[in-house]
Amino acid sequence: MSHLADLIRPTLPAGLTLPEPLERAWTWMEDQGWGFETRGTYYLTPFEGRAQLGIVFSPSETLTGWFEPGEPGHDRLFPLGQTDGSGSFAALWLDPTDTVRFVLLGSEGERLLLADDAVDFLRLIAIGYLELADYVLPEAPDEDEDGESVAALAQFRAWVESELGVDVPEHWTVQEPDPFSAWVDEVTRSS
């Protein structure tokens, strides 16, 4: 089990669990030495170094600004880490059928279903996008803007393909209509 999972597990809302492939990926990242602590907070990346070249997992993310404790929806989400330097973050979402999915809550109000399961979430991360957003994902990462990120994630991409037995695509398909965005609309309307 990874150190990050040990830090996160006690704070998960009832019904939410960490999917095994995600824990396995975190353990691999830690085995590479890609976890570090700064100012009392633990961070873990799927790439070497401390520059933000994709997602940065951390147990200290919150839903503040989206869902406050006690509000409808708060107990069905759990933030996993920042997806870019602007404050957008990926989260676990316990959907209405009690299936754990992966979503994005953006700094500009975006909400997006990223993946239906942990393996697909890891495949998405391994592509090498510098940020995750609905307008970025349908295209392959831009060589000029994302080149450093794509290169930094090469080891992780190879691990995903060999360890999980899947291919990492060149770009990601966004689901439309987006069920997570519809759920956020429904939950926030009812509160």
Distance CA 178, CA 191 (A): 21
Mean pLDDT taken over the chain: 94
Distance CA 11, CA 145 (A): 36
pLDDT of residue 189: 85
Secondary structure letter of residue 173 according to DSSP: P
* pLDDT of 191 strictly over 70: no
Report the C-alpha dihedral over residues 124, 130, 133, 136, rounded to 10 degrees. Answer: -90
Q: Which residue has the tokens 């997006």?
A: 112
Mean pLDDT confidence for 164-186: 95
pTM for the model: 0.95
- The model's pLDDT over 110-120, given as tens digits with 9 standing for 90+, comes to 999 999 999 99
- The model's pLDDT over 5-34, given as tens digits with 9 standing for 90+, comes to 999 999 999 889 999 999 999 999 999 999
- Residues in a beta bridge with 111: 105
* pLDDT of 52 strictly over 90: no
Per DSSP, the three-state class of 130 is: coil
On whether the CB atoms of residues 93 and 115 are closer than 8 A, the answer is no
User: What does each C-alpha distance from 156 to 25, 30, 94 come to in angstroms?
Assistant: 9, 12, 26
